[in-house]
Structure 1
Amino acid sequence: MRTEQASGSGTRRRRVRFPEEEPPTAQDGWWQKTLRALKTLLLFSIILGVSLLLWGYVFQGCGPSPCKTPVCQDLLALYLASGNTSVAPCADFFSFACGNANRTSSPFQALEEENKRRVRRILETPGSWRLAPGEEKAFGFYNSCMNTGAIEAAGAGPLRQVIEELGGWPTSGNWTPSDFNQTLSLLMSQYGHFPFFRAYLQPLPTPPYLPVIQIDQPEFDVLLKQKQEPNYAQILREYLNYLYRLVTLLGGDRNQAQKHASFSLAINSQLNQMVGPGEQQRAQDKVFEMVTIDQLQRMAPTIDWLSCLQATFTPMALSPSDHVAVHDLAYLKNMSKLLEMKLSEHRDLLQSHMIFGLVKTLSPALDSQFQEAHRSLNQKLGELTGHPPMPVHPRWMMCMEKTEAFFEPTLATLFIRETFRPRTQSAAMELFTAIKDAFISHLHTVPWMDGETRAEAQDKLSQLQVKMGPSEWALKPDPARQEYDDIQLGPSFLQTFLSCVRSRQARVVQEFLQPVSSHRWQVPPWGLKAYYSIPDHVMVFPAGLLQPPFFHPGYPRAVNFGAAGSIMARELLHIFDRLLLPGGCLACDTRALQKALLCLERLYTALPSPKGTAFEVSRTLLEDAADAGALAIALKAYKKRLVLFRGETILPNLDLSPRQLFFRSYAQVMCRDPSTQDPQDIHSPPTLRVHGPLSDSPAFARHFRCPQGALLNPSRRCQLW
Structure 2
Amino acid sequence: ITVSEYDDLRRDVSAMYNKVTLGQLQKITPHLRWKWLLDQIFQEDFSEDEEVVLLATDYMRQVSQLIRSTPHRILHNYLVWRVVVVLSEHLSPPFREALHELAREMEGSDKPQELARVCLGQANRHFGMALGALFVHEHFSAASKAKVQQLVEDIKYILGQRLEELDWMDAQTKAAARAKLQYMMVMVGYPDFLLKPEAVDKEYEFEVHEKTYFKNILNSIRFSIQLSVKKIRQEVDKSTWLLPPQALNAYYLPNKNQMVFPAGILQPTLYDPDFPQSLNYGGIGTIIGHELTHGYDDWGGQYDRSGNLLHWWTEASYSRFLHKAECIVRLYDNFTVYNQRVNGKHTLGENIADMGGLKLAYYAYQKWVREHGPEHPLHRLKYTHNQLFFIAFAQNWCIKRRSQSIYLQVLTDKHAPEHYRVLGSVSQFEEFGRAFHCPRDSPMNPVHKCSVW
TM-score grouping bracket, smaller chain normalisation: 0.7 to 0.9
Aligned to 2:221: 501
Tell me how far apart the structure 1 counterparts of residues 322 and 11 of structure 2 sit (CA, whole Å): 23
Matched, 1:465 2:185: yes
CA displacement at 1:567 relative to structure 2 = 1.1
Matched, 1:360 2:91: no
CA displacement at 1:425 relative to structure 2 = 0.7
Q: 2:65 aligns with which of 323, 330, 334?
A: 334
| TM-score normalised by L of structure 1 | 0.53
> Residues 450 and 589 of structure 1 are in contact (CA less than 8 Å); yes or no, is this contact kept in structure 2?
no
State the SS of the aligned residue for 2:315.
coil
The letter of the residue matching 1:319 is F
Cα-to-partner distance string for 1:26-52 (whole Å, 9 max, x where unaligned): xxxxxxxxxxxxxxxxxxxxxxxxxxx
Aligned to 2:423: 691
CA displacement at 1:587 relative to structure 2 = 3.8
CA displacement at 1:572 relative to structure 2 = 1.4
State the SS of the aligned residue for 1:468.
strand
- For 1:667-706, list aligned pairs within 5 A: 667-672=394-399, 675=403, 676-677=405-406, 678-679=409-410, 680-706=412-438
Distance 1:441 1:503, change over 3 A: same
Matched, 1:655 2:382: yes
**5+ residue gaps in structure 1?**
1-213, 218-275
| TM-score normalised by L of structure 2 | 0.81
CA displacement at 1:544 relative to structure 2 = 1.6
Tell me how far apart the structure 2 counterparts of residues 300 and 568 of structure 1 sit (CA, whole Å): 42
| Higher Rg | 1
The letter of the residue matching 1:372 is E
> Residues 609 and 687 of structure 1 are in contact (CA less than 8 Å); yes or no, is this contact kept in structure 2?
no
Q: 2:122 aligns with which of 391, 398, 402?
A: 402
Q: 1:312 aligns with which of 14, 33, 41?
A: 41
Q: 1:287 aligns with which of 12, 16, 29?
A: 16
> Residues 570 and 626 of structure 1 are in contact (CA less than 8 Å); yes or no, is this contact kept in structure 2?
yes
- For 1:501-650, list aligned pairs within 5 A: 501-511=221-231, 515-578=235-298, 585-588=314-317, 590=319, 596-597=324-325, 612-646=339-373, 648-649=375-376
For the aligned residues, what is the CA RMSD?
3.7
The letter of the residue matching 2:452 is L
Distance 1:702 1:399, change over 3 A: same
Cα-to-partner distance string for 1:590-620 (whole Å, 9 max, x where unaligned): 56x56655665666678x7566452244444
> Residues 354 and 421 of structure 2 are in contact (CA less than 8 Å); yes or no, is this contact kept in structure 1?
yes
Report sequence identity in percent: 28
CA displacement at 1:557 relative to structure 2 = 0.1
Aligned to 1:370: 95
Cα-to-partner distance string for 1:273-328 (whole Å, 9 max, x where unaligned): xxx656567779653544444555566566654454344345xx342433444444
Moved more, 463-472 or 285-294: 285-294
CA displacement at 1:650 relative to structure 2 = 5.2
> Residues 561 and 638 of structure 1 are in contact (CA less than 8 Å); yes or no, is this contact kept in structure 2?
yes
Distance 1:619 1:308, change over 3 A: closer
CA displacement at 1:377 relative to structure 2 = 5.1
Tell me how far apart the structure 2 counterparts of residues 586 and 508 of structure 1 sit (CA, whole Å): 38
Moved more, 491-500 or 421-430: 491-500
State the SS of the aligned residue for 1:466.
strand
Aligned to 2:308: none
CA displacement at 1:490 relative to structure 2 = 6.2
> Residues 667 and 690 of structure 1 are in contact (CA less than 8 Å); yes or no, is this contact kept in structure 2?
yes
> Residues 525 and 544 of structure 1 are in contact (CA less than 8 Å); yes or no, is this contact kept in structure 2?
yes
Moved more, 425-434 or 451-460: 451-460
> Residues 609 and 688 of structure 1 are in contact (CA less than 8 Å); yes or no, is this contact kept in structure 2?
no
CA displacement at 1:404 relative to structure 2 = 2.7
The letter of the residue matching 1:376 is E
Tell me how far apart the structure 1 counterparts of residues 110 and 65 of structure 2 sit (CA, whole Å): 31
Aligned residues: 435
CA displacement at 1:550 relative to structure 2 = 0.7
> Residues 176 and 312 of structure 2 are in contact (CA less than 8 Å); yes or no, is this contact kept in structure 1?
no
